[in-house]
Amino acid sequence: MTKFRHLIWTMIAAAALVLSVSESYAQKPDVGDQPGLLADDSVELDPEYQRTAVLYRTTEAPGTIIIQTAERHLYLIQGNGRALRYGIGVGREGFQWQGLLNITRKAEWPDWTPPPEMIARQPYLPRFMAGGPGNPLGARAMYLGTTVYRIHGTNRPDTIGTAVSSGCFRLVNADVSDLYERIPVGTKVIVRQKPEL
């Protein structure tokens, strides 16, 4: 009888282990965009991702934006070896990219129309959402070339410093509003995966 009980408990333990492992490998829902969620502006960013003036060597002209995806930072070049550094959220694995674009449009409290590819991945998303505090694009958006990508605010300040987006770059609303006021349409934007050598 003791051997039988031991066998039963061993089988139960094995089944529990298999279930816990399979749950950990199950695809988790995409929580990068949560329409309607109001931003918790009391979220304190890690000092690494707080807006600050830094030394930054580059040959790019003042006013250029350089996005360092791996670092989770956006730099607005000031000249004389200085830049304003902002903490950002970036595209998750498979949604990161690099290139050279320009800001083609700017919008305050932009409306959001998720592209069909995003709807296919996240069918729960609305087909359209008017601008406002619960909009995932946040307080401001700067559109990158003719792509579907933007530099924008967020209603999820807790995602700054992470890789959860579908390829856009998000800042907390205070930072995106600051950046928005500093740059014109036509601003050059360089997106890099690795630091400049």
Q: How confident is the model at residue 44 (pLDDT cuts 50, 70, 90)?
A: confident
Helix (H, G, I), strand (E, B) or coil at 181: helix
Query: What pTM value is reported for the model?
Result: 0.80
∠ CA(72), CA(142), CA(89), 5° rounding? Answer: 20
Minimum mean pLDDT range among 31-35, 101-105, 111-115: 31-35
Please compute the mean of the pLDDT values over residues 10-31 and round it to a whole number: 40
The model's pLDDT over 122-175, given as tens digits with 9 standing for 90+, comes to: 898 899 999 998 899 999 999 999 999 999 999 999 999 999 999 999 999 999
Confidence of residue 19 (pLDDT cuts 50, 70, 90): very low
pLDDT at 7: 45
Helix/strand/coil (H, E, C) string of 19-47?
HHHHHHHCCCCCCCCCCCCCCCCCCCCCH
* pLDDT value, residue 194: 79
User: Which pLDDT belongs to residue 47?
Assistant: 94
Characterize 4-37 residue by residue with b for buried, 16 or more Cβ atoms within 10 angstroms of its Cβ, and e for exposed: eeeeeeeeeeeeeeeeeeeeeeeeeeeebbbbee
Q: How far is CA 12 from CA 20, 25, 63, 193, in A?
A: 12, 20, 63, 47
Say whether pLDDT at 80 is over 70: yes
Model confidence at 36, pLDDT cuts 50, 70, 90, reads low
Catalytic positions, written as ranges: 152, 168
pLDDT value of position 34: 65
Could you give the 3-state DSSP secondary structure of residue 15?
Answer: helix
**Residue ranges covered by each domain of the chain:** 88-192
Sequence-ordered strand ranges (E) for the chain = 52-55, 65-68, 73-79, 82-87, 90-91, 99-108, 140-144, 150-152, 163-165, 169-170, 188-192
Residue 56 binned pLDDT confidence (cut-offs 50, 70, 90): very high
Pairing of strands 169-170, 150-152: parallel
Average per-residue pLDDT in the chain? 85
Q: Which residues pair with 165 in a beta bridge?
A: 91
Task: Kindly report the CATH number that applies to the domain delimited by 88-192.
Answer: 2.40.440.10
